[in-house]
Structure 1
Amino acid sequence: MGIFKKFLKREKIRERLFVLSIDGLPHSFLAEPSGRMLMPNLAAVTASGAMGRMNSVLPTVSSVAWASYATGVNPGKHGIFGFVDRVPSPFATWVPTARDLKAPTLWELIGRTGKEVGVINVPLTYPPRQVNGFMVACFLSPDLASATYPPELTPQLLELDYRIEAESALAGHDQNAYLADLQDTMARRFKAAFQLIHSQSWDFFHLHVMGSDRVNHFHWGSWEDNAPGAAGFENFYRRLDSYIGELTEHLPPGCRLMILSEHGFTRAKGNVFVNRWLEENGYLLFGRGRKELKNMHPDSRAYSLVPGRIYINLEGREERGRVNAGKAYEDLRDELIHRLAALCHPETGQPVVEAVLRREEIYSGPHTSRAADLIIAPAAGFDLKANLSAPAVVRPPDLGGVHTYDDAFLFIQSAAALPAHNTFSIIDVTPTILKIMNIAAPQSMDGRVLL
C-alpha cells in the first residue's frame, strides 16, 4: 500500500516542446546520403517523426521569415518586409527590430496562458520583450546586457562566456579564423542552452543556430565541388551534429522536439544589381552630387531596396514623387513586371528572375501599403542586390551560396506525417506549435495546423 501511495504522489510528467532552428539548412541536404552521413545524429532524430520540405516567404531573408514564424502571419500583418526598410518622405533607410513587429509573438501568446518560455538567439528578437520566462536576443543586440531578459540572467551568461555573434570582420580576410570563431560561438551557445534547460523552468524552449547560414553563404559551392573550404564546412556541420546528439540527452522526459530551417541554400550563380538595371533603362536617375537613393533625381520613376524590392516613385507618398496614382502607377508596374521577368544572364542566356509579383498578390493586412510595390523572386542561384555603384547588371557571385524559397525543412518528433512537400510554409509552423501545446491560435493567424 505504501508503494501505491508513493506512485500516486509522483509528479506528472510536464509536457514540453523544444524547438531547434538551424538557419538556412536545406531539406535537400538532409534528404541526400551525403548530408545524412555528415549529420548522423540529426538523421537518427528525424527518423523518430515526420519531416517535410517547406516554403519560406518573399523576400527570402531571415528577418522576414523568422518574423513570420514568430507571429504566424504574413508580412502585411507583422510589418517586417526586409532586413532594411525605408521612410519614403523624407527618404531614409533603417534596420527593423523587434520593436517594429506589429503582431503578437509566439512566446507572448504562450506566456499569456501561464506557460513559461525560453528563447535564445532567434532573429528579430532584439530588443528582448518581457516574456513569462527568459529571452536572449539575436545578432542585432549591441551587447549581452541589452540582449537579456530578465536582466538577472546576464551574469549567468557572462559566467558561461556566452557570445551573441561570431566576429564578422574575420570573414573578409581569414576564413579559417572565421570558421573557428563560428564554431566557438556555437559551442558557447549550446553550453548555455544545456545549462538553462536544467536551471530554468520552461514549457517551450527555442534555440536558434545562426552560424549555419554564415557557413553556407561562404562555402556552399566549395562543399559541392569538394574544393578548398569544404573541410571547414564539413567540420562545422559535424560539430553541430554532435551538439544535436547531446541535446537529445539533455531534454527532460515528456519533451517533444521540433527542428526547422526558414529557407534553403543553393550554389551562387551571380549577383543581379536591380538599381543598375533601373538606371540603365531610365527608371532611376541621378544628377550631380553623391550617388545615393536620397539624392535621386525627381524625374526618377522607381528604385530598389535589397533584395529585389521595387518602389514606385509615387506622387504623394515619396519625397520627390513623380508617378501619379491610378492608371500611371499600374501601367508602370505592368511595364516593370514584363521587362524584369525577361531579364537574362548576358553570357549564358539563363533567366535570372523567377517571377515579379505585385505586393497585394503575396501580402494582406493593415501594413501591406508599406511593402514594396513589386517584389522580385530570383531564379535559383541569383542574389538580388541594390548597390548603386555596380559596373554591370549581372556580375559573378561574391559568395558561395544563396538562399532558396522552396527548400526549408520542418521535422516534428512523433508526428505520423506532414502535408506533401511545398504545400505548406513557415507561417504554418506557429499554429502547429500552439496546437501541440494545447493553446488556441488567434483567428488573425494566417497559418494552418499541420498535424
Structure 2
Amino acid sequence: MSAARVAPQLAVVGLDGVSFNVLMPMVDRGILPNFRRLLDLGAHGPLISTVPWQTPVAWTSMATGVNPGGHGVYGWWNPDLRSGELVPVSGAQVERARYWEVLSGTGVAVGVVNVPMSYPARPVRGFTIAGLDCPSSAPEEDPLLAYPRGVLDEVARTTPDGVRRYRVMPERLDGEDTLAAATRWTEVERHRADSFFALVERYRPGFVQLNLFATDHIAHRTRPGDPARDLAYRSADEFLGRFLDRYPDTDVLVVSDHGSCPIDHFLMVHNFLRELDVLHFGPWLADEQVPVVLGPHASAEECARLVERLRREGRGTRAEMFERHRDRFPGANVGFSTIDWDRTSAFCTSDYGQLRINRERGAGAVVSDAKHRRLLERLGAAFLDLRRPSGEPLVERVLRRDELYRGPHAAAGPDLTPVPAATDVYFCQVYSFYGTGEGRLLAPIGEVVDPARTGCAGDHHAEGVLIAAGPRITARGRLAEASLLDIAPTVLDLFGVEPLPEHEGVVLADLRGRDRRGPSPGEPVDEQAEGLRRRLMSLGYRI
C-alpha cells in the first residue's frame, strides 16, 4: 500500500516574462482554465521588477530580497576591463541566502527546480535542480546541477523518460519556426514537471518552487495571438492544473520576473555613443562577430575555436582577419573585445542602454572625479535630447547609480540608466546587430535583423504578475502593486519566519487580511532570528 500523499504548505510557480496584458486576453478566450481557476479563488496584482527588468537580475533579487547592489548580479555578463572580455555571470557569485535556503536553515524541507541563477545547486534540506545559468549542454552529466548529487538518478528511476530527457532548455532551437520551438519547449517543460512531481512525492517538502521559461522565450519571437505564444502559455496552464489537482490544500503564489511587450524599433546605443565621440572600436575582428563572418552553417564549436585563437594570438590576427572580411562585413570590428580603450570613456554592455564610465583602462580612462561628473551630465543630457522623427522624446528620465543601487556591490553597477518614454523602443547594445556598419540611431527592427529568429519581436517591461490563492490566502480580487523584493519576506512570513534584516521589501500581509508591513530598523532581533542568522553565516551566506 503506497504512502499517503503529503501536500507542500506553499508553492511558488515562477513564470518568466508573463504579464497581465498578455495573460488576461488568453484567460478571457477560455484557453487557460487553470489560470482562471486561480484568479477566481484568490487575488492578483502587478509585481514590479528590478532595474534592469531582466531574467538574471530579477530572479536573484526576488530570491534574496535585495536589490542588485546587494547581490551583485546586473545581467548575464560582467565587463572585465582588465582582460577586455565579457565574463558570464552565474549563481555562484551570489553570496546572499535565497528564501528557500533560509527556510531550509529553519528545518523546513524544500524542493526547488529551474530557478535562474541558482547554479551550482547548494546543499539544502530537500532537493534543488538549478536553472538557466547551468553551463553544461548535457546537464545530466553535470554533478553541480542538482542537490543531492544523485537526485537526477532518482529522476531516471521514477519518471518514464528518465534523466536522459531532463534538459534545462531544448537543444538546437536555431532555425526552427516559432511554433516548432514552442512545441520543443512544451516537451522539455512537461518532462521537467514530471521530474518535479516525482521528487516532491519522494522528499515531501514543505516548500516547493518550479520555474518555467517557455513563456519568455516565445514572447521574444512572437506577437500576442500567435499560436506559438498560446502554446507556451497553455503549457504553463497545464502545469498549474496538474499541481492544483494533486495538492488542493497548498497555498500557491504565481510570480513572474517581468512582463513582456512588442517592440518595433532599435535605439542603437553604440551608435549614440560613437556620435558623442566617447566610444571607439579598433580595426580588429571582434569575438561577437565571429558567427557573422563564419556564416550561418558554422557550428558552435567552430566559432568557439576561432574566438579562442583570436584571444590567444591577439591584435595582429584580429587585424588581419578584419581586413579580410571588412568589405562584406564593415561592422565586423564592433564588439566589447575590440573597444579601443585609449579613445573610449564610456561604453554599454546592458540590454537596456545602461552606461558605464571607463575609469581604469587605457588613455581614455576618466580618472578625475570632476571629469567623471561632467561626463555623466553630458551623457544624461544627450539621452534626454533623443527624439523620434515626430519630435516625441525617446527617454523619459536618466537615473544615476546611487539613485538605484545600494549595498556591497553597488559600485559594480552601471553609472547611468535611461528610462524609456515608451515600451516599443529597445535600447540595443547587441554587438552582432551592428555587423552592417549601419550608423542610424533609431532603426526599425525588421531592417536590422529577422525579429522572430533573433528574439526581437518582443522584449520586457517592468510589470510582472502576482497571483495568490489557497486555504490561508484570504485576499480576493485586485491586489495593490507589489515589488519583487516583497516575495522573500512574504514567503518567510507564510512559514512564521521573520524576514532577514537585509530584506528590502515588505511582507504582503494583505494576502492574509492584515496590513502590509515592512522591516522596522532599530527593533530588537529576537533569539530565533539571531540563531538563524548565525546558522546561515556559518554556511557562508552574507547576512
TM-score of the superposed pair, with normalisation by structure 1 = 0.88
Any residues of structure 2 matched to 1:321-360 within 5 Å, and which?
321-346=364-389, 348-360=390-402
2:112 counterpart of 1:70: no
What amino acid is the match of 2:498?
A
Aligned twin of 1:4: none
1:284 and 1:296 mapped to 2: Cα distance? 8
Shift of 1:42: 0.7
Aligned to 2:23, which of 30, 35, 39? 30
User: Structure 1 residues 61 and 319, CA, compared in 2 at 3 Å: closer, same or farther?
Assistant: farther
| TM-aligned CA deviation for residue 275 of structure 1 | 1.4
- The alpha-carbon deviation at position 35 of structure 1 amounts to 5.0
Residues in 2 aligned to 1:35 and 1:429: alpha-carbon distance in whole angstroms: 27
RMSD, matched Cα? 2.3
2:28 and 2:413 map into 1 onto residues whose CA distance is 37
Partner of 2:357: 312
Q: Indicate the residue corresponding to 1:152 in structure 2.
A: 150
Shift of 1:37: 2.3
Q: Amino acid of the residue matched to residue 95 of structure 2?
A: K
Matched, 1:109 2:102: yes
> Which residue number in structure 1 is paired with residue 229 of structure 2?
233
Tell me: CA distance 1:129–1:319, structure 2 relative to 1, closer, same or farther (3 Å): farther
1:197 Cα offset (Å): 2.3
Q: Which amino acid in 2 is paired with 1:16?
A: Q
Q: Which 10-residue stretch deviates more, 283-292 or 166-175?
A: 166-175
Cα deviation, 1:375-415, whole Å, max 9, x if unaligned, reads 2333312222223425133222322211001x211112143
Partner of 1:5: none
What is the alpha-carbon distance in structure 1 between the residues aligned to residue 443 and residue 73 of structure 2? 29
Residues 45 and 424 of structure 1, relative CA distance in 2, 3 Å threshold: closer
Return closer, same or farther for 1:23/1:374 CA change in 2, 3 Å cut-off.
same
Q: 2:45 touches 2:482 (CA, 8 Å); kept in 1?
A: no
Question: What is the identity, as a one-letter code, of the residue corresponding to 2:232?
Answer: F
> What is residue 194 of structure 1 aligned with on the other side?
197
In structure 2, C-alpha distance between the alignment counterparts of 1:400 and 1:38, rounded to whole Å: 23
Q: How many angstroms does 1:321 deviate by? A: 4.7
- Pair 1:174 & 2:216 matched: no
Once the two structures are overlaid, the 10-residue window that deviates more, 367-376 or 394-403, is: 394-403
CA contact under 8 A between 1:197 and 1:251: conserved in structure 2? no
Q: How far apart in 1 are the matches of 2:388 and 2:166?
A: 41
Q: Distance in 2 between matches of 1:191 and 1:356?
A: 46
Query: TM-score, normalised on structure 2?
Result: 0.74
Give the aligned residue type for 1:313: N
1:418–1:249: structure 2 CA closer, same or farther, 3 Å change rule? closer
Task: Name the structure 2 match of 1:285.
Answer: 280
Q: Give yes or no for the alignment of 1:97 onto 2:90.
A: yes
2:73 equivalent among 80, 83, 88? 80
Mapped to 2, the partners of 1:208 and 1:33 lie a distance apart of 20
Say which of 346, 349, 354 aligns to 1:302: 346
In the other structure, the counterpart of 2:486 is: 428
Equivalent position of 2:311 in the other structure: none
Q: 1:395 aligns with which of 408, 420, 443?
A: 443
Aligned counterpart for 2:258 among listed residues 241, 258, 263 = 263
Deviations 1:401-431 (A, max 9, x none): 11001x2111121434499867431111110
Question: In 2 relative to 1, CA 86–287 (structure 1 residues): closer, same or farther, beyond 3 Å?
Answer: closer
Distance change (3 Å), C-alpha of 1:166 and 1:281: same
> Which residue number corresponds to residue 469 of structure 2?
413
Cα distance in structure 1, aligned partners of 2:176 and 2:388? 29
- Structure-2 change in CA distance of 1:305 and 1:168 (3 Å): farther
Change in 2 beyond 3 A, CA 1:337/1:18 = same
Instruction: Give the deviation of 1:120 after TM superposition.
Output: 0.4
1:370 aligns to what? 412
User: For 2:417, what is the secondary structure of its paired residue?
Assistant: strand
416 and 401 in structure 1: CA distance in 2 versus 1, 3 angstrom threshold: same
Q: Which residue of 2 aligns with 1:249?
A: 245
CA distance in 1, matches of 2:248, 2:103: 19
Cα distance in 2 for residues equivalent to 1:182 and 1:294: 33
Q: Deviation at 1:358?
A: 0.8
Provide the C-alpha distance between the structure 1 equivalents of 2:67 and 2:337, rounded to a whole number of angstroms.
Answer: 29
AA of the residue aligned to 1:300:
T
More displaced 10-residue stretch of structure 1: 54-63 or 354-363 = 354-363
Which of these residues, 252, 268, 271, is aligned with residue 273 of structure 1? Answer: 268
Q: Distance in 1 between matches of 2:218 and 2:42?
A: 27
Q: How many residue pairs end up in the alignment?
A: 428
Distance of aligned partners of 1:33 and 1:137 in 2 relative to their CA distance in 1, 3 Å threshold:
closer
Residue aligning to 2:10: 17
Q: Which runs of 5+ in 1 are unaligned?
A: 1-10, 225-229
Distance 1:369 1:25, change over 3 A: same
CA–CA separation in structure 2 for the residues paired with 1:164 and 1:341: 44
Q: Which amino acid aligns with 1:113?
A: T
**Which of these residues, 404, 421, 433, is aligned with residue 461 of structure 2?**
404
Read off the aligned partner of 1:373 and give its amino acid letter: D
